Amino acid sequence: MHLAYPAVLSVLLFCTGLYGVLARRNAILVLMSVELMLNAVNLNLVAFDVWLSKAAEETLHSGQALTLFTIAIAAAEIGIGLAIVLAVRRNRGTSDIDKLRDTAEGPDDDGPDDGPGTGTAAAGPAAEKAEATA
């Protein structure tokens, strides 16, 4: 088997996962897309390991060992990530990434303004800088 077949499949899987990370708004689907990208990397590691072991006399199988480490790290990542997403969903009621904010921030006031002199524009550049860094 040629190296091109698993490499092309790996590129397709990685691009699909990248699209999922960039386009999805649900945090669980983003985590699944990251897993898809990690699996594409695993496929590349194993394919190149098999290809290089045919060329070399000594077979170290370092690509397959790295794949095992990647699978272990991915399992830990998805476990912790899913626990965080479920905790946020339970507390906030949504797992939509656009609606989630930092946990230190309070809810926004959607009420009417008190007048023309209130808000962040009247506070000056210090308030804008603090808001930009937060």
Mean per-residue pLDDT of the chain = 79
Which is higher by pLDDT, 109 or 8? Answer: 8
Q: What is the pLDDT of residues 83-125, one digit of tens each?
A: 988 998 888 888 888 777 655 455 555 555 555 555 545 555 5
Q: DSSP letter string over the chain? A: --SHHHHHHHHHHHHHHHHHHHH--BHHHHHHHHHHHHHHHHHHHHHHHHHHHHHSSS---HHHHHHHHHHHHHHHHHHHHHHHHHHHHHHHS--BTTT---TTS-PPP-S--S-TT-SHHHH-HHHHHHHHH-
Q: What's the distance, CA 123 to chain centroid?
A: 36
Please state the rounded mean pLDDT for residues 67-91: 90
**pLDDT at residue 23 greater than cutoff 80:** yes
